[in-house]
Amino acid sequence: MKNEIDSKFVLSVFDKMREHGEKQQEQYILGGLKGSTDFDGYTLFIEDALVMLRFGFHNQYAFEYEKEEHLEQFLKKMTAIEQTY
């Protein structure tokens, strides 16, 4: 699987996490994912126990994960949030 993701999708999921998620300290939790931003709000993070997505300025992003199946499950969680809320 190629690590390509639509920036509008990421931003939409993060917005839904902020709107519908449970806020715990500086994180929003929804659908098995945690979302947060850095101190200035230019970089956002969406993560679960096995994958982290860092999405920043000029739509640059990076995934951190060990196994392809972990990424696939992570993207399914993001899609479920997008479609449910």
CA distances from 66 to 44, 52, 53, 69, 71 (A): 21, 10, 13, 9, 8
Task: Determine contact, residues 35/20, Cβ cutoff 8 Å.
Answer: no
Count of beta carbons in the 10 Å neighbourhood of residue 78: 24
**What is the reported pLDDT for 4?**
82
The per-residue pLDDT for range 13-66, each reduced to its tens digit, is 999 999 999 999 999 999 999 999 999 889 999 999 999 999 998 889 999 999
Residue ranges and CATH numbers for the domains of the chain are 7-79 (3.30.310)
Q: Residue 63, CB half-sphere, CA atoms under 13 Å: how many? A: 19
Q: Indicate if the alpha-carbon torsion angle 19, 20, 23, 27 is positive or negative.
A: negative
Per-residue confidence (pLDDT) for residue 1, from 0 to 100: 42
Residue 25 is predicted with a pLDDT of 93
Q: pLDDT value at position 63?
A: 97
